[in-house]
Every structure is written in structure tokens, then in C-alpha cells.
């Protein structure tokens, strides 16, 4: 899919926030951005062909295009796959301090679209988390992701609780 070459993790997270009640004028709060930043983001997404914006008096509705829906479906399918060696490499880079997906893609020499799907999978599996602020996204490890990357088994919390009592 040629669309995935220019896809970024930020694009994917923005697409995920678009629903039937999404309007240009109210989108800023969904991505922790001002109205102007949100409008800029939505304009970029429209130029990439991921969304439609219907101009109307009052609120302007936003919807996903077929390409945008295909991206979301591909991401959901990728999220169901097992964690593999590339995912482990990505989580190791994140655990060593890489926060910016663009820098992470450059460091791993990986296409932005491929990394976006991988990061989405790792978020869905609970190994990493992300934060959207204005027009930036940063990724960070979760505790279970950090434990999994370092190869240490997670403790059985029920047994630990019984031992403490």
C-alpha cells in the first residue's frame, strides 16, 4: 500500500481519534492541541488522503476516507500478530531513551509507515505507551514492556500478595 510510506505514528493516532462526532472546531482537545494546530493537523491528513472535511456553516464534520479506514484495519490486523524480533529491537531502542518515532525510524533504518504499524501493535499489547501534545507524539515504555524487553518474567502478583499477608 503506497499510503503507508508517508504514514507516521502520529497520523495513525490521529486517525484513531476520528469518530462520528469529530468536528474541526472541537478536534484540538482530542490531541491536546490548540484549534489552529488541530486544524493544521487535519489539513495535512486531508492532503495525505486519510480524511474528508465537509465545509458547512457552524461545525465542519471530519470523516475517514477509504484509505484512512484501510490504514486503521491494517493496524488492527498488525496488532493481532505476535511480538517478533523487530518489535523487541524497537522496544529496546525506546527503553534506552528513544522517544521520537521519526528519530526511531531513522535509527532503525525503517520506513515510517512500517514503524507506525509496529508501534501501534506494541501499544495494543501494552508494551509501550504514547503521549500526544500539540503536533508531536512521544513514546515510552510501560512496566510490562520494560520487563519483557529485559527478559525477566513478571512476578505472579497473587502469590506475592499471599506471601506478604
pLDDT at 12 over 80: yes
Q: By C-alpha distance, which of 77, 79, 95, 76 is closest to 149?
A: 95
What is the spatial distance between Cα 42 and Cα 39, in angstroms, rounded to a whole number? 5
Q: What is the mean pLDDT of residues 48-61?
A: 93
What is the spatial distance between Cα 82 and Cα 105, in angstroms, rounded to a whole number? 21
User: Could you report the per-residue pLDDT of 134-163, keeping only the tens digit for each?
Assistant: 789 999 999 988 888 777 555 566 766 676
Domain 82-149 grouped into CATH 2.60.40.10: no
Domain 3-76 is of which CATH architecture? Orthogonal Bundle (1.10)
User: Could you report the per-residue pLDDT of 71-127, keeping only the tens digit for each?
Assistant: 999 999 999 999 998 999 999 999 989 999 999 999 999 999 999 999 999 999 999
Q: Which stretch of DSSP H or E encloses residue 64?
A: strand 62-64
- What residue segments make up the domains of the chain, in order of their start? 3-76, 82-149
Amino acid at each position: 500500500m503506497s499510503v503507508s510510506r508517508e504514514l507516521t505514528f502520529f497520523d495513525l493516532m490521529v486517525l484513531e481519534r476520528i469518530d462520528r462526532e469529530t468536528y474541526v472546531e472541537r478536534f484540538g482537545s482530542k490531541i491536546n492541541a490548540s484549534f489552529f494546530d488541530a486544524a493544521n493537523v487535519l489539513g495535512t491528513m486531508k492532503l495525505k488522503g486519510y480524511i474528508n472535511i465537509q465545509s458547512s456553516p457552524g461545525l465542519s464534520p471530519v470523516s475517514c476516507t477509504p484509505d484512512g479506514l484501510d490504514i486503521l484495519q491494517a493496524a488492527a490486523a498488525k496488532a493481532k500478530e505476535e511480538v517478533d524480533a523487530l518489535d523487541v529491537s524497537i522496544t529496546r531502542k525506546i527503553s534506552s531513551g528513544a522517544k521520537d518515532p521519526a528519530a526511531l525510524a531513522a535509527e532503525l533504518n525503517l520506513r515510517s509507515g512500517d514503524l507506525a504499524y509496529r508501534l501501534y501493535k506494541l501499544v495494543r499489547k501494552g508494551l509501550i505507551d504514547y503521549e500526544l501534545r500539540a503536533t508531536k507524539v512521544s513514546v515510552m515504555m510501560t512496566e510490562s514492556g520494560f520487563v519483557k524487553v529485559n527478559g525477566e518474567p513478571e512476578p505472579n502478583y497473587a502469590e506475592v500478595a499471599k506471601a506478604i499477608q
